[in-house]
Structure 1
Amino acid sequence: MKNMLKGLGAALCVALPLLAQAPADAATPAGAGAADQALVQRGAYLAQLGDCAACHTAPKGKPFAGGLPMNTPMGRIYVTNITPDAQAGIGGYTEADFARALREGVAKDGHNLYPAMPYPSYAKVNDDDVKALYAFFMHGVAPVQQANRESDIKWPLNMRWPLMFWNMAFLQKGAYRDKPGKDVAWNRGAYLVQGLGHCGSCHTPRGVAFQESALDESGSAFLSGALLDGWFASNLTGEHNSGLGRWSDEDLRTFLKSGANRHASAFGAMTSVINNSTQALSDQDIAAMSAYLKSLPPVGGNGAAAYTYDPQATKVSLDRPANDAGARVYTAYCMHCHGVDGRGFAPMLAPLAGNPNVLAKDASSLINVTLNGTGDLVINGVPSPYPMPGFAAVLDDKQIADVLSFVRAGWNNGAPAVGAAEVAKLRQSTQAGR
């Protein structure tokens, strides 16, 4: 359980754009003329801001060649090749084709894309950024002849035409417009979080049709946390316990740049977001995102009183571990990294006392990271020295449930206990095929 709870979420952030009208030169084919290098470089930054590589580059695969499997409620799909290869990729796309795919979820040949691609978020990206992204993908990415793979979704659920009606119901067209009464930094942060960052794709709950329950701060569910593919993407509102209410602006900026702060460290898909995206962003953009997120009012939580640290009862339990099954596991496997006091050694080793992921109502992320560990945070090319290992082969379902229940109750955390059946369910779903 070393460095457990590495995270403020699991997020599959990838992001790009949408607009109602294509630019004037939208009919220009991919290979025509020399690309404006400044535009290509800006597009490269925007693609990094959106962490496009997270979904469109498979492990050990070539950049943006697709093939990454993604689980959906209907079955597994495989992310597509977006290199400028004319046959397998998007080399034959005009800028108008590119914009339509990103903004409306419709490919060049007219078939609808699954909303696992967050085009409802990309709809908010402005024209200039669409143009820069197109320039990057056409002139800054090497073409790869790697054929796209069909989804595993069975008929009739694999039919695409019903997605036209999904779009009619849930797609809100139009680029982001600055909100009156808000300053430049707030509006820039809102634009990045809602659009290119598409943070809501993971951190906002989904409805029965897999639609995000809210697309901006006008909806109360926006960024209030959501279960996705075996992880619980954290609450990003001002909620005091499981959200960002106790985080300062500096705490949040530090987390986005390094993946760790005095409250938590990144795990799950958020590790990729830190590694490939947010650490490379400008200080100005990081500050803008933080300003926007810190402005969101508190939503959700488990209804508990505001967290305050109290180590006494937990210390007594750890002094006599034989009386508590969870304390016995904690003493054997966790205490040397996370401490008797539960405060770990932040930011190198995550704290458990008051960690928002520990305090969350849904324990899925805690179970998942204990079973399977997490990948290395790699900041400025240097891997984290203490990644969280997986304990699936070491601890059984009851032991994991016991220790997580101990942690969730310890140090005045006051979060609900974890059952062995919950652990067994996630073990089965996340260990399949390993």
Structure 2
Amino acid sequence: MNRIPASRFEMAGSAADEPSELVARGGYVARLSDCVACHSVPGGAAYAGGLKMATPMGAVYTTNITPDRNTGIGSYTLADFDRALRSGVAKDGHRLYPAMPYPSYAKLSDDDVKALYAYFMRGIPAVHQQNRQSTIPWPLNMRWPLAFWNVVFAPSGVYHPDATKDTQWNRGAYIVEGAGHCGACHTPRGLAFNEKGTDSHSAAFVSGALIDGWYAPSLRNTPNTGLGRWSEDDLFRFLKTGRNEHAVVFGSMAEAFNNSTQFFSDDDLRAVAHYLKSLPGDGTREGASWHYEPTQAAAREPAKRQELPGAQTYMAKCSFCHGADGRGQGQWVPPLAGAASSMMQDSSSSINITLNGSGRVVAAGVPDAYRMPSYREQLSDTDIADVLTFIRLSWGNRQSVVFADDVKKLRDQTTPANSSPVILKTH
């Protein structure tokens, strides 16, 4: 069971003589796969690793994947690289934790794997930086059981086009299910840390999931907590510019936008949007579709705001940007009325961004001018719970209250957003 998987590239040579066109192609596949987001830290060298990733068992740290021969992957052959990428097995034979999305990368084509290898061997500088050990305690840190995990939960084989779908849909599926590994964040996981669905045939696939203090929303067409009210053009603009009339990227999605989606070709962005809009939502998951309703009267009348917990805080801290009506400021400041984060049962994202603010969004090389600030030092746990409860029960939003203990838990587990994100420059 612990046999190392074979690679289709066992007889392949090194990347030393690969043409520059293949290296450039590999750089684009790396953008599709957003490798830099996980294998880099703010202020550090791109792809040198060191990012802490929380798991239920403890923290793991991403590895150095630069071509340094001692601390990176410079000694990897194409076959070694392929096994690590698509089977989750490092060159020395140890199994990778599925925090590395090899179950998604298994779907990459042979040509894209070869291009990625050429890019990592020839397209980026080598960085000598030692890898950090995980904090997962023994015996949970034993890796050999992952061989059994892979048999049960990890798909194998490259992506095969669906003959019943058009070319654009299949390209979108290849990116979302494979290179883009969208399910790694947006799909709920089972007790074994397995994604509950890995493709469009599963209703659980990209249906929303809690990960590392953020709730990644559903990418299916559920109307209130998913993409049901978004058009394909809305999705295209969001992935291309980081914002649209419904939302602005924040949390982990801001990192994905900064280094990945904005660099997709327009054709690939259209394909992703086309594919996602084909995924049906779950009509039993939520009540009637959201529609705008005026704010409670107590919030509109200054003399009565004290009667409604959170209303005064909202008017003082939030209304200037998000509007007294909760409708935001066009594409620049997102609405809270009808926002997925305001409609989800899980309030983690709302708490996290209120506590810690949003990271800097850099579109086409230009940093954003409007960002959500951190209220960690200005507002108490009760203040934040009250204002979020007000938001979640206003303007037609219909969700549960937020409790101070919920805020305290995330306050203890999180830190303010970094205003200097990792940005990999275009070459």
> TM-score scaled to structure 2, two decimals?
0.94
Cα contact 2:39–2:50 (8 A) shared by 1: yes
For residue 326 of structure 1, what is the aligned residue in structure 2?
310
Query: Is 1:22 aligned to residue 32 of structure 2?
Result: no
- For residues 119 and 178 of structure 1, the distance between their equivalents in structure 2, rounded to whole angstroms, comes to 19
Shift of 1:70: 1.1
1:205 aligns with 2:185: no
Tell me which stretches of 4 or more aligned residues in structure 1 moved more than 4 Å: none
> Which residues of structure 2 form unaligned runs of 5+?
419-427
Task: Name the structure, 1 or 2, with higher relative contact order (CA <8 Å, separation 6+).
Answer: 1
Partner of residue 146 from structure 1, selected from 101, 125, 129: 129
Aligned twin of 1:338? 322
Could you report, residue by residue, the CA deviation over 1:278-307 in whole angstroms, capped at 9, with x for unpaired residues?
011100000000000000000277522111
Amino acid at match of 1:29: S
Contact 1:301 1:361 (C-alpha < 8 Å) held by counterparts: no
1:110 alignment counterpart: 93
- Cα displacement string for residues 167-193 of structure 1 (whole angstroms, at most 9, x for unaligned residues): 111111100000111000000000000
The answer for the alignment partner of 1:429 in structure 2 is 413
- Partner residue of 1:387? 371
Distance 1:200 1:127, change over 3 A: same
Is 1:364 aligned with 2:348?
Answer: yes
Deviation at 1:22, TM superposition (A): 1.7
Which whole-Å deviations, capped at 9, do the CAs of 1:69-108 have from their partners, x for residues lacking one? Answer: 1111111111100011111111111101000001110000
How far apart, in 2, do the equivalents of 1:25 and 1:354 lie? Answer: 55
Match of 1:165 in 2: 148
- Note the 1:8-87 alignment, pairs <5 A: 21-23=7-9, 25-26=11-12, 28-30=13-15, 33-87=16-70
Separation (CA, whole Å) in 2 of partners of 1:272 and 1:431: 16
- 2:108 partner SS: coil
1:119-141 alpha-carbon deviations (Å, 9 max, x no partner): 00001011010010000000101
| Aligned residue pair count | 411
Unaligned 5+ residue runs, structure 1?
A: 1-18
Q: 1:90 to 1:193 in 2, by over 3 A?
A: same
What are the superposed Cα offsets for residues 326-361 of structure 1, whole Å, 9 maximum, x if unpaired? 101101100100101111102111111111111112
Paired amino acid for 2:408: A
Give the structure 2 partner of residue 218 of structure 1: 201
Determine if contact 2:389/2:402 at 8 Å carries over to the other structure.
yes
Shift of 1:35: 2.6
Q: What secondary structure is seen at the aligned counterpart in 1 of 2:394?
A: helix
- Residue type of the alignment partner of 2:221: G
Provide the rounded CA distance (Å) in 1 between the counterparts of 2:6 and 2:284. Answer: 37
Q: CA shift at 1:158, angstroms?
A: 1.1
Measured at CA, do residues 328 and 70 of structure 1 come closer, stay the same or move farther in structure 2, by a change above 3 Å? same
**Does the 8 A contact of 2:224 with 2:286 survive in 1?**
no
Q: Are residue 285 (structure 1) and residue 271 (structure 2) matched?
A: no
User: 1:22–1:95: 8 Å Cα contact kept in structure 2?
Assistant: no
The separation in 2 between residues aligned to 1:257 and 1:416, in whole angstroms, is 33
Q: 1:353 aligns with which of 337, 347, 353?
A: 337
Distance across 1 between alignment mates of 2:191 and 2:36? 29
Closer, same or farther: CA 115–24 of 1 in aligned 2, 3 Å = closer
Query: Does the 8 A contact of 1:304 with 1:414 survive in 2?
Result: no
Contact 1:43-1:134 at 8 Å conserved across structures: yes
What do residues 339-391 of structure 1 show as CA deviations (whole Å, max 9, x unaligned)?
A: 01111102111111111111112110000000001111110111111111111
CA positional deviation for 1:431: 4.1
| 272, 286, 299: which one aligns with 1:317 | 299
Q: State the distance in 2 between where 1:256 and 1:170 align.
A: 29
Could you tell me the percent identity over the aligned residues? 54
1:185 aligns with 2:168: yes
TM-score of the two chains, using structure 1 as the length reference: 0.92
| Equivalent residues of 1:243, 1:301 under 8 A apart | no
CA contact (8 A) 1:238 1:244 kept: yes
Q: 2:402 aligns with which of 418, 427, 431?
A: 418
Q: CA deviation at 1:317?
A: 2.1
CA distance in 2 between partners of 1:300 and 1:119 (Å): 31
211-220 or 316-325, which moves further after superposition?
Answer: 316-325
- Per-residue CA distance 1:134-178 (angstroms, 9 max, x = gap): 000001010111111111111111111111111111111100000
